[in-house]
Amino acid sequence: MKRMRWIGAMGLAAPLWAQIGAAAKDRAAEIAMEAAKSAPAFSWESLLWKVVWLEVIAVILLSFLLVRVVIRATGWDPFASWDRDKNNMRLWMLVGGAFLLLVLWSASHYSDNFLPESASRHGVPIARLTWGIVSFTYPAFFIVHLMLFYMVWRYYNGRVRSATYMETHHGLERGALIAISTPVVIIAVAGIYVWSQPVHGQSPEPGQKEIELEVVAEQFQWRARYAGQDGKLGRYHYKLIGGDNVLGIDFTDVKAQDDIIPQLKEIHLPVGALVTIHVRSKDVLHSLYLPHFRTHIYAVPGQKNKVTLVPTITTREMRKKLGDPNFDYELACNQLCGGAHYNMRMKVVVESWEEYEAWLRQQKPAYQPAQPQPVQAELRMKPNQNS
Ligand SMILES: [Cu+2]
């Protein structure tokens, strides 16, 4: 009797057992799949290759040993006439030549990855300065290395024993000092002027349109906020950051109430307008990097940074210029900020003022005052319409 009751209880609980069984089976399958993903699949072929490589290494080591044993036993030395210095020099010439050829090859092979022409106004002098520097550091690199390898050839032991001694020559030293420091000073001064433009030096021209937006970094994404109708970004405070207010916007500030957070992970910029981007970070150090606009600024927790730029080439024009219909400008993080750092990118669309305004009009303000939702209102009206 007792046993019957027990079986009956088991029978009643059967659906529950089935549920638990199915869940356990699913979980087991999941674990198996994860294990399969993390552990590389075993293959006889890869094991065979490992054995082959080990044997190759063993044969090389053993042959060295064999030569030594033969030399010891017979007194015969195959390297007696081997000019060690000369052959070392020859090997160095080989290494040097191969190195310089590799540099030439890689520079041409990877030239596809060079940035296209600058798409911002301040980026043009920056690109010019960069290529100006490369135009003499690249030849200097070759000249210096050719000189280095020439010295190895000239002074290998046994040919020229010692270098010539020279008295201090003030004129020569002064000349060398000026020749080296002049380009360095030019680069530094031009750099200060050119690179500071996006941070300090851009003010609107008469009649030029201006927009303001904020880009906020967090592990691992960017979020943008546009100033609304009033053209001004509202206040924020880190203590206000929460599940429904991801940017910590202070909605008691009237200027904040029309601010816009775009739905899609992309920012739109009007061509020809002066764009001010405010940058901040919610957690660690990130960096706002707009390579095509030659623009870069750090996103530092607890610090307000800003950068200005004037986009000059629309996405459409750049696609035509590059002959690439899929080209898009990119906003990236260029600080290694954690595990999913690679995820921190955003599409940047440069378009005409009209297109920009139309896009902005489609975006909803971040601040939604309490009011009946339009969808619910529609549902409530339906019965009335039918009757
Ligand atoms: Cu980052």
Cα 314 to middle of ligand 1, angstroms: 26
Q: Report the alpha-carbon distance of residue 290 to residue 78 in Å, rounded.
A: 62
Say which range, 117-131, 153-167, 301-315, has the weakest mean pLDDT: 153-167
Q: Is the pLDDT of residue 41 over 80?
A: no
* Bond before 220 cis per omega within 30 degrees: yes
Cα 300 to middle of ligand 1, angstroms: 10
Cα 334 to middle of ligand 1, angstroms: 7
Cα 341 to middle of ligand 1, angstroms: 5
Amino acid, res. 37:
K
Contact 209, 220 (CB under 8 A): no
Contact 120, 309 (CB under 8 A): yes
Say which range, 37-46, 216-225, 265-274, 316-325, has the weakest mean pLDDT: 37-46
Cα 330 to middle of ligand 1, angstroms: 14
How confident is the model over 322-339, as a mean pLDDT? 90
What confidence category does residue 21 fall into, taking pLDDT thresholds of 50, 70 and 90? low
How confident is the model over 69-80, as a mean pLDDT? 82
Burial of 328 per CB tally in 10 Å (0-12, 13-18, 19+): middle
pLDDT at 290: 93
Q: Report the alpha-carbon distance of residue 359 to residue 84 in Å, rounded.
A: 73
What confidence category does residue 60 fall into, taking pLDDT thresholds of 50, 70 and 90? very high
pLDDT at 118: 92
pLDDT at 13: 55
Cα 285 to middle of ligand 1, angstroms: 7
On average, the pLDDT of the chain sits at 82
pLDDT in tens, 240-256: 787 777 778 877 777 77
**Which strands form 221-226's sheet, in the order they lie side by side?**
221-226, 210-218, 274-281, 305-309
How confident is the model over 200-227, as a mean pLDDT? 86
How confident is the model over 148-175, as a mean pLDDT? 82
How confident is the model over 289-317, as a mean pLDDT? 92
Cα 102 to middle of ligand 1, angstroms: 33
pLDDT at 25: 65
Cα 340 to middle of ligand 1, angstroms: 8
Q: Is the pLDDT of residue 15 over 60?
A: no
Share of the chain above pLDDT 90, in %: 32
pLDDT at 2: 52
Cα 342 to middle of ligand 1, angstroms: 8
Q: Is the pLDDT of residue 9 over 80?
A: no
Cα 54 to middle of ligand 1, angstroms: 43
How confident is the model over 162-171, as a mean pLDDT? 83
Q: Report the alpha-carbon distance of residue 232 to residue 179 in Å, rounded.
A: 51
Q: Which token pair is 150?
A: 């020439």
Cα 315 to middle of ligand 1, angstroms: 24
What confidence category does residue 350 fall into, taking pLDDT thresholds of 50, 70 and 90? very high
Q: Report the alpha-carbon distance of residue 84 to residue 41 in Å, rounded.
A: 48
Q: Which token pair is 351?
A: 């378009």
Q: Between 228 and 48, whose confidence is greater? A: 48
Q: Is the pLDDT of residue 77 over 80?
A: no
Cα 180 to middle of ligand 1, angstroms: 38
pLDDT at 387: 37
| Of residues 160, 162, 157, the one with CA closest to residue 88 | 157
Q: Report the alpha-carbon distance of residue 54 to residue 46 in Å, rounded.
A: 13
What confidence category does residue 351 fall into, taking pLDDT thresholds of 50, 70 and 90? very high
pLDDT in tens, 138-149: 899 999 999 988
Three-state SS string across the chain, please?
A: CHHHHHHHHHHHCHHHHHHHHHHHHHHHHHHHHHHHHHCCCCCHHHHHHHHHHHHHHHHHHHHHHHHHHHHHHHCCCCCCCCCHHHHHHHHHHHHHHHHHHHHHHHHHHCHHHCCCCCCECCHHHHHHHHHHHHHHHHHHHHHHHHHHHHHHHHCCCCCCCCCCCCCCCHHHHHHHHHHHHHHHHHHHHHHHHHHHCCCCCCCCCCCCCEEEEEEEEECCEEEEEECCCCCCCCCECHHHCECCECCCECCCCHHHCCCECCCCCEEEEECCCEEEEEEEECCCCEEEEEHHHCEEEEECECCCEEEEECECCCHHHHHHHHCCCCCCEEEEECCCCCCCHHHCEEEEEEECHHHHHHHHHHCCECCCCCCCCHHHHHHHHHHHHHC
pLDDT at 292: 93
Which structural domains are found in the chain, ordered by start? 86-158+173-196 (no CATH), 210-362 (2.60.40.420)
Cα 332 to middle of ligand 1, angstroms: 8
Cα 23 to middle of ligand 1, angstroms: 38
Q: Is the pLDDT of residue 364 over 80?
A: no
Cα 281 to middle of ligand 1, angstroms: 9
Amino acid, res. 280:
R
Say which range, 97-111, 175-189, 241-255, 326-340, has the weakest mean pLDDT: 241-255
CA distances (Å), origin 146, targets 89, 101, 106, 150, 249: 14, 12, 18, 6, 60
Cα 224 to middle of ligand 1, angstroms: 14
Q: Is the pLDDT of residue 272 over 70?
A: yes
pLDDT at 1: 47
